[in-house]
Chain A
Amino acid sequence: AAGVIQSPRHLIKEKRETATLKCYPIPRHDTVYWYQQGPGQDPQFLISFYEKMQSDKGSIPDRFSAQQFSDYHSELNMSSLELGDSALYFCASSSKASGYSYEQYFGPGTRLTVT
C-alpha cells in the first residue's frame, strides 16, 4: 500500500539558510500534518492543513511557513535556520472524507541538520 512520501530524507544546511521540506500524502488523503522531533524528544505538532486551508496550528516558529497545494502535497518552508532546528520532521496524512477515522499515517521523516 502507498505510504506518505517525504523528500528529501536528509538535509544539511548552515545557520541562517533556508530549507524546504516536501510531503506527499497517501492517495485520497485530504489532510496533512507536520511534526518536529528533536533528539530524544517526543514529536511536537507544528501545523495542519485540510483541503488546502490551514486547520490547526501548534508550536510552529514564525520563521516557518507551510502550505498545501491543489494535489494535496504540502511543503514546509524554514527560513533563518538555527542550530536548534536540527530535528526529524515528520509529515502525516489522514482522510476526513472517509469518515474521519482520525488515524494519522506518518512518513519516514526528513532529518534536518543545521551546522
Chain B
Amino acid sequence: SQQGEEDPQALSIQEGENATMNCSYKTSINNLQWYRQNSGRGLVHLILIRSNEREKHSGRLRVTLDTSKKSSSLLITASRAADTASYFCAIAMYSGGGADGLTFGKGTHLIIQP
C-alpha cells in the first residue's frame, strides 16, 4: 500500500510548545500535502511540498521532506488552542494520469492544552 502512515496517532501538548508530526509513505511521489481537519468538518489545505523540495515554511508551519527515507514531518511552532485538530498527510503520485486522487494517512490528533 502506498498509504501514508503518520505518527504519533495522538499528541497532547501545552499551549506555546512545538508540535511535530511525522508521515511515512512507500511509493515515489510527485508531492506531499498536509491538511488539517477540525472535528467532523472539512479539510483545510495547509502546505504542499514537491518531491524536489526539502523544506518549506508557511507562517508557524515548517514541513520537511526526505524522499530517500520516504518521510515527511510537520512542525507547528508556538502552538495555540486553535491548533487542536486532526492533521493528515496526503501523497500525490501523479503517474501521468492527470487528476490523480490523494492518498491520505491515518492522521494525527493534536490536542493543545491551555
Contact = CB atoms under 8 A, between A and B. Distances in A.
B111 to A, nearest CB: 16
A55 B88 contact: no
A42 B101 CA distance: 14
Interface residues of B, number: 25
A101 B48 CA distance: 9
B42 interface: yes
Given A90-B43, A108-B41, A109-B42, A49 B104 contact: no
B98 A55 contact: yes
A58 B93 CA distance: 13
A82 B44 CA distance: 29
Interface string A86-114: 00101010101000011111111101000
Contacts of B35: 106
Given A42-B107, A102-B30, A103-B33, A48 B101 contact: yes
A44 B107 CA distance: 13
Majority DSSP secondary structure for residues of A touching B: strand
Contact of A45 (B31, B88, B101): B101
A104 B102 contact: yes
B106 interface: yes
Interface string A30-59: 010101000000111111111000011010
Interface string B65-96: 00000000000000000000000100010100
Contacts of A50: 98-99
A43 B102 CA distance: 9
A88 B40 contact: yes
A48 B101 CA distance: 7
Interface string B13-54: 000000000000000001101010000111111001000000
Interface of B: 30-31, 33, 35, 40-45, 48, 88, 92, 94, 97-107
